[in-house]
Amino acid sequence: MTKLETSERLVHVPLGERSYDILIGPGLMARAGGEISTRIKGRRAAIVTDENVGSRYLDGLMDSLQTDGIEAVSVTLPAGEKTKSFDHLTTVCDVLLEARIERNDTVIALGGGVIGDLTGFAAGIVRRGVRFVQIPTSLLSQVDSSVGGKTGINARQGKNLIGIFNQPDLVLADTDVLDTLSEREFRAGYAEVAKYGLIDKPDFFDWLETNWREVFAGGSARIEAIAVSCQAKADVVAADERENGRRALLNLGHTFGHALEAATQYDSSRLVHGEGVSIGMVLAHRFSARMNLVSPDLADRVEAHLKAVGLPTRMDQIPGELPPTDVLMDAIAQDKKVKSGKLTFILTRGLGQSFVADDVPTSEVQRFIEEMRPS
């Protein structure tokens, strides 16, 4: 097992032959070559990154790999959600094949959730699967998208509709890189941190209400929040790897959020994923109150906390005009959690008491969205 520095945390994802470690702490980027070389036999690697992340970290990662005897090539893609497309997937696959990356070699995702999702998909389909390492560089990707093996790209019909489950071999969550994020990016990632408390960890949500400023400031509170989030996701993934049941809870707020992202055509100047999740979680709690599952006071409490950290909580905070309700409903109907044409939402019966609600009446959802829309 890896020898940890005193400031580091390790979370293990127990999935039999597909088990892997998540290392969390400062300085991990510089040690990437050593951590990878102790786990993976191949001596070649391909790094996939985007223009923003690559300009900061690609050279240092290449040096770390070379120091530990790993020969690497790289491909740099445009930044942004629109990169999760067939065209860019083809580009990455071409690079991997031209570099003769073999099954025991490593494909490294260096970036946020977009790069992680796209790279993991490519790694899973090239030669029917090569080794795969996540080096997430945003808070959102460190606590959510880099863990659990969901990979894929977007389709015209909606987000993440084309992809595979492909577990990484290692996740290196270097907390130092979070210091370079904009306030908006960090807040967007924090929405996913808060989500774990709202799913089934009410004590964690209580802790976040008290300590969120320290999480934003960095240091031990930030590492603790990331570690708790990763452990929460690891526990769920270990129990339900392919989202046949409990794992669906991780989508709290996402059904509404994904629809809002689609409604903005994935324009990050208007809405980024974590902001959509923030609004979506408030909507999920308000819809739960509408269905008489929980007191409206809880929805107020959730909104107050997300608002306090600077996240949007209402649809009228999204810049620009939203499409008609029927267009939003079409996006919801394309959600991956829809079964046999019936809507599935993650709702709640109390703080940290989320559950999967099957066969939610479409008419109720439509009326609710109409009420929540900007007037």
Give catalytic status of residue 12 as yes or no: no
Give the span between the Cα atoms of 353 and 285, in whole angstroms: 11
Give catalytic status of residue 201 as yes or no: no
CA 211 to mean position of chain CA atoms: 22
Give catalytic status of residue 273 as yes or no: yes
Geometric angle at alpha carbon 211, from 145 and 260, rounded to 5°: 40
Catalytic residue among 88, 251, 275, 290: 251
Catalytic residue among 131, 201, 273, 285: 273
Check whether 138 is labelled as a binding-site residue.
yes
Check whether 41 is labelled as a binding-site residue.
no
Check whether 254 is labelled as a binding-site residue.
yes
The 8-class DSSP code of residue 82 comes to G
Query: How many residues appear in the chain?
Result: 375
Give the span between the Cα atoms of 16 and 20, in whole angstroms: 9
Give catalytic status of residue 336 as yes or no: no
Catalytic residue among 247, 285, 286, 305: 247
CA 356 to mean position of chain CA atoms: 20
How many CB atoms are closer than 10 A to CB 100?
11
Give catalytic status of residue 247 as yes or no: yes
For residue 30, the SS3 value is coil
Check whether 195 is labelled as a binding-site residue.
no
Check whether 159 is labelled as a binding-site residue.
yes
For residue 162, the SS3 value is strand
Check whether 305 is labelled as a binding-site residue.
no
Catalytic residue among 185, 243, 261, 303: 243
Check whether 348 is labelled as a binding-site residue.
no
CA distances from 240 to 13, 117, 165, 250, 345 (A): 12, 19, 12, 11, 18
Check whether 268 is labelled as a binding-site residue.
no
Check whether 336 is labelled as a binding-site residue.
no
Give the span between the Cα atoms of 278 and 314, in whole angstroms: 9
CA-based nearest residue to 173, from 255, 124, 234: 234
Give catalytic status of residue 82 as yes or no: no
Give catalytic status of residue 127 as yes or no: no
Element containing residue 88 per DSSP (H, E): helix 86-98
Give the span between the Cα atoms of 133 and 141, in whole angstroms: 13
C-beta separation of 121 from 151 below 8 A: yes
Both structure tokens of 49: 């990154």
How many Cα atoms are found within 13 Å in the side-chain-facing hemisphere of 195? 34
Catalytic residue among 9, 84, 150, 337: 150
Catalytic residue among 131, 201, 222, 254: 254
Give catalytic status of residue 128 as yes or no: yes
Check whether 115 is labelled as a binding-site residue.
yes
Catalytic residue among 31, 131, 195, 233: 233
Catalytic residue among 258, 286, 290, 336: 258
Check whether 192 is labelled as a binding-site residue.
yes
Catalytic residue among 3, 17, 41, 128: 128
Check whether 5 is labelled as a binding-site residue.
no
Which residues are annotated as part of the binding site?
A: 113-117, 137-138, 150, 159, 192, 254, 273
Please state the residue numbers annotated as binding site for Zn(2+): 192, 254, 273
Binding site members for NAD(+):
113-117, 137-138, 150, 159
List, by residue number, the catalytic residues. 128, 150, 192, 233, 243, 247, 251, 254, 258, 273
